[in-house]
Amino acid sequence: MIWQDYISSDPRICHGQVCVKGTRIPVGVVLDNLAIGLSPEEVVKVYPTLTVEAVRAVLRYAAILTRENIVALTPDEV
């Protein structure tokens, strides 16, 4: 999968937030839904303009971001 086929950022759309390409659905919204336990298929039911492939691309993009940035965790977050 080439995640760049599914993820974009445009300053004219959602103030430049990273979104699923062709939608106004921010990557963070998709991740929030996955984080509360929805499956990719359930996310697509909530946001029918998405595809399961796009949801998986969001996960791939997020995984890449974790390798690029080190985030210090406070003891309360561990």
**What angle in degrees, to the nearest 10, is found between the helix axes of 52-68 and 27-35?**
100
Token code pair at residue 72? 């210090």
Question: Which residues form the domain of 56?
Answer: 3-77
pTM confidence score: 0.84
Please calculate the CA angle 17-70-66 and round it to the nearest 5 degrees: 55
39: domain CATH number? 1.10.10.10
Tally the domains of the chain: 1
What phi and psi values does residue 20 have, to the nearest 5 degrees? -70, 125
Please write the tens of the pLDDT for every residue from 26-77: 999 999 999 999 999 999 999 999 999 999 999 999 999 888 766 666 666 5
Nearest by Cα to 34 from 56, 15, 6: 56
